Amino acid sequence: MTQGIVVVGGGFAGLWGAAAAARARDELGLADAIAITLVAPGPFHVVRVRCYEADLAPLRVPLDDVLAPIGVRRVDGWVEAIDAAERRLAVQPAQRSDPPVTLPYDRLILAAGSALRRPEVPGADAAFDVDTIEGAQGLAQHLDALAAGAIGRGQAGRWTAVVVGAGLVGIELACELPVRLAAARDRAGDAGPVETILIDRGPEVGATMGGAAMPAVREALAAAGVVGIAGAGVNLIDSAGVTLEDGTRIPALTVVCATGMRASPLAGQLGVPCDALGRVLVDAHLRVVGRAEVFAAGDVAAATADAAGHRTVMSCQHARPMGRFAGHNAVCDLAGRPDRLLDFSVPDYVTVLDLGAWGAVYTAGWDRGRLVAAGAEAKATKRTINGARIYPPLTRDRAAILAAAAPVIQARPGGG
C-alpha cells in the first residue's frame, strides 16, 4: 500500500523538504511505496530574499524543473485548512472556480513560510512591500508610473521614498532605492534631488547588525544618501506620505513596509503551542512537539539551533537545511527506520548584508560580533549567495538535484 508525504509550501524549506524526501525515499528503495506531493500556489519557487533588487527576472525558478525529475507531484493551490486529527488538508486549487479538494497524508511537512507583519496603523495595507515577488513587481510598476508621469506630477514627495523598518530587508532596500528613484526621475526628464528615508523604532538605524558592522552600515547609508530616523514610529500612511507618532509629516509618494515577519497562520491550526512569531516548536528531528506525524521547517518552525539554545531565525540560511533534514526524517519515520533519523543542528551563524553600490558587510556569530569582511569583498560573497548558493540545480538533472538535497550543513560562504 502506498503511503503519502505532503509538503506544504514551495519556498526554501518546502522545495528542499520535498527534494530531501525524494532522496531518502530512493536511498531506502521505497520509490513505489511512498508518494511525495508538494502543495504551493503558483508554478514557481521564488528566491524571496532577492525581492529588494531591481532586476526580478532571475527570482523565479520553475518548481517542475526541480520536482518532476525526482518524482515529486506538484499541486497548484492554497492549503486553507489542516485537520490534524484526521490527517488531511483542505486545498483550494489555484483556479479559484474549481472546488476545494481534500488531500490526505501519512506524514506532513509544514513549510508554509511567513508573511510581512505590517504596522497596525491606518494606511499600512496600502504601502508597498518586497515580501513577495508580487509586492516587488508592484513597487517596480509604481516607479515606472512615476517615471512616465502617470502619477505624481507636481506633487511634493514625488522623488522621496520612505522605508518603514530598518531590519536587514529594510536596509538592503533603502540602499537600492536612491539609484532606482534617480533612474525614474531621469526617465521623467525631471530635475532635483531624490531622497530615501529609513525609519526605525530602534536607538540607531541599523543597530540590529551589531557593533562590529555599524561603521560599515553608517558609511554605506551615507554614501547612498539615505537619511535615517531612529527612535520613531509611524502613526499614519497614505498615498502622499507618512505621519510619525510625534506629528512630523514626511511627503513621499513611495512608502515601503519592511517591518518584520510572522509565521503562516496554518501553524496555528495544528493545535499545539506557538511562539511569539507564530511558529510551532519542533524537536531535534524537526517533528512538531505534540504532533508526531507532522514535521515543520523554515519560517513556520522554531528549532533549537545549537547547544547554547539559540533558536533558528526566519532566514533562508536556516530554512534550506531545515527543509533537508525534515524531508529526510519524515521519510525515515514513515518507513519505520528510527536508526536513520538525523538530529538538526546549525551551530554556526553568519549574516551577509547587501549595502548597494557601496558593497556589503559580512559578520559571524549570533550577536554578529565579528566582522568577517566589508565592502567589495563582502559584496562578492553576497553575489555568490544570491546568484548561486541558494539556488537548486537548474538543469533538470535528477542526480544533481538529489545530491544537492543531502541533509548536511554547508560550510560558511566565502570561507569566512
Provide the pLDDT confidence category of residue 415 given band limits of 50, 70 and 90: low
79-132 pLDDT per residue, tens: 999 999 999 999 999 988 889 999 999 999 999 999 999 999 999 999 999 999
Q: Mean pLDDT over all residues of the chain?
A: 97
The stretch 373-383 carries a mean pLDDT of: 97
- Locate the domains of the chain by residue range: 3-115+261-349, 124-257
3-115+261-349 and 124-257: same fold? yes
The whole-model pTM stands at 0.96
pLDDT (mean) for 290-315: 97
- The answer as to CATH 1.20.20.10 being correct for domain 3-115+261-349 is no
154: pLDDT strictly greater than 80 = yes
At residue 323, the pLDDT reads 98
Residues 206-226: pLDDT tens digits? 998 999 999 999 999 999 999
Q: What percent of the chain has pLDDT over 90?
A: 96
Residue 59 above 70 pLDDT?
Answer: yes
* Residues 308-354: tens digit of each pLDDT: 999 999 999 999 999 999 999 999 999 999 999 999 999 999 999 99
- Residue 96: what pLDDT? 82
pLDDT band at 416 (very low <50, low <70, confident <90, very high): low
Q: Which of 32-36, 97-101, 243-247, 329-333 has the lowest average pLDDT?
A: 97-101
pLDDT at position 1, please? 76
Q: Please give the CATH number for the structural domain made up of 124-257.
A: 3.50.50.60
State how far the Cα of 347 lies from the Cα of 314, in Å rounded to an integer: 16
